[in-house]
């Protein structure tokens, strides 16, 4: 498969290939330049090539989500999740996927603590484990809380890189979108007033919570360069623009605070079949 990228750096971009009903076929990603070379040669006649694949599935090992709560003032109120995922592909540092998301979630909570603010609802920062090749962190959290989903007011995950924030994706019912107009006005000076309502975000770690009715949110970021580096050896810290990350921290702090103090109920997420 030609790497899913808009750039030409001769870097393969890794990922997963899954088959149903127990079918197993080898799969590989090749760089854009190599894919074009193969296409040109194949157009001239039969093409043979040697491809060495080294991936392997190792035995399971223990790993952990990391959780931290900023306790709400109302012990009977719900929880708002603010999250990113810890793991990354081993080609590089995982700076934009998803070190930036974890750092932004942690930074948002730090801002609230530094300002001495206590939300009404508890804000729970989660750094998920195993998002990339199994999603077991999200599944484990769901399994541990599937009988307490009504106590989860909303869930946020940042897993779209480290681009400049433009607004918010909101997985809420159409009639609930108007509840966020005050937040949109507050985000205008940040340059991120857009609210894009969707029926479902399909955000990796939040999928089961979303299916269980928990409204899900994600920062709407400029992703024009995201797939230049995504899942490749180029995903290094130098790709993170400090000002963009600071803005993402500010957006998540405002979104988390707003959700944690909303007087109205959002309503449960749209009922969808995945």
- CATH number, residue 169: 3.40.630.10
Q: Tell me: do 19 and 72 sit in the same domain.
A: no
Q: Tell me: do 149 and 23 sit in the same domain.
A: no
Three-point CA angle 251, 256, 257, nearest 5°: 100
**Residues 219, 168 contacting (CB under 8 angstroms):** yes
Is pLDDT at 3 greater than 80 in this prediction? Answer: yes
Q: Tell me: do 10 and 82 sit in the same domain.
A: no
> What is the domain range of residue 207?
66-261
Is pLDDT at 255 greater than 90 in this prediction? Answer: yes
Q: List, for residues 151-197, the tens digit of each pLDDT value.
A: 999 999 999 999 999 999 999 999 999 999 999 999 999 999 999 99
Residue 241 included in any domain:
yes
Q: Tell me: do 50 and 159 sit in the same domain.
A: no
Residue 272 included in any domain:
no
Q: Tell me: do 210 and 147 sit in the same domain.
A: yes
Q: Tell me: do 163 and 247 sit in the same domain.
A: yes
Of the candidates 78, 131, 166, 218, the residue annotated as catalytic is 131
Residue 253 included in any domain:
yes
Residue 266 included in any domain:
no
Instruction: State which of 40, 57, 74 marks the end of a domain.
Output: 57
Q: Tell me: do 191 and 248 sit in the same domain.
A: yes
Q: How confident is residue 21, by pLDDT bands cut at 50, 70 and 90?
A: confident
Q: How much is the pLDDT for 20?
A: 84
Identify whether 166 is a catalytic site residue: no
Q: How confident is residue 108, by pLDDT bands cut at 50, 70 and 90?
A: very high
Count the helices and strands in the chain (H runs, E runs).
7, 7
Residue 268 included in any domain:
no
Q: Tell me: do 75 and 53 sit in the same domain.
A: no
Q: How much is the pLDDT for 273?
A: 56
- The distance in angstroms from the start CA to the end CA of the chain is 25
Residue 131 included in any domain:
yes
Total structural domains within the chain: 2
Residue 269 included in any domain:
no
| Pairwise CA distance, residues 186 & 95, whole Å | 29
């Amino acid at each position: 498969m030609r790497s899913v990228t808009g750039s030409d750096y001769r870097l393969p971009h890794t990922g997963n290939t899954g088959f149903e009903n127990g079918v197993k076929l080898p799969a590989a990603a090749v760089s854009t330049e190599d894919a074009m070379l193969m296409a040109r040669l194949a157009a001239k006649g039969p093409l043979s090539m040697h491809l060495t694949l080294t991936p392997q599935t190792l035995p399971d090992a223990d790993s952990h989500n990391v959780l931290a709560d900023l306790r709400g003032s109302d012990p009977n109120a719900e929880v708002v999740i603010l999250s990113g995922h810890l793991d990354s592909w081993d080609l590089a540092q995982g700076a934009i996927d998803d070190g930036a998301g974890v750092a932004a979630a942690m930074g948002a909570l730090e801002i609230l603590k530094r300002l001495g603010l206590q939300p009404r609802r508890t804000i729970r920062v989660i750094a998920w484990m195993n998002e990339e090749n199994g999603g077991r962190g999200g599944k484990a959290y769901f399994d541990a809380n599937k009988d307490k989903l009504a106590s989860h007011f909303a869930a946020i995950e940042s897993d779209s890189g480290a681009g400049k924030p433009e607004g918010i994706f909101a997985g809420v019912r159409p009639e609930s979108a108007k509840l966020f107009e005050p937040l949109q006005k507050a985000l205008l000076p940040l340059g991120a007033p857009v609210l894009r309502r969707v029926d479902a975000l399909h955000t990796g770690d939040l999928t089961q919570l979303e299916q269980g009715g928990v409204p899900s949110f994600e920062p709407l970021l400029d992703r024009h360069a995201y797939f230049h580096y995504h899942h490749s050896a180029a995903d290094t810290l130098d790709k993170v623009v400090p000002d963009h990350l600071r803005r993402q921290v500010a957006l998540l702090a405002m979104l988390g605070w707003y959700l944690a103090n909303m007087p109205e109920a959002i309503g449960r997420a749209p009922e969808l079949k995945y």
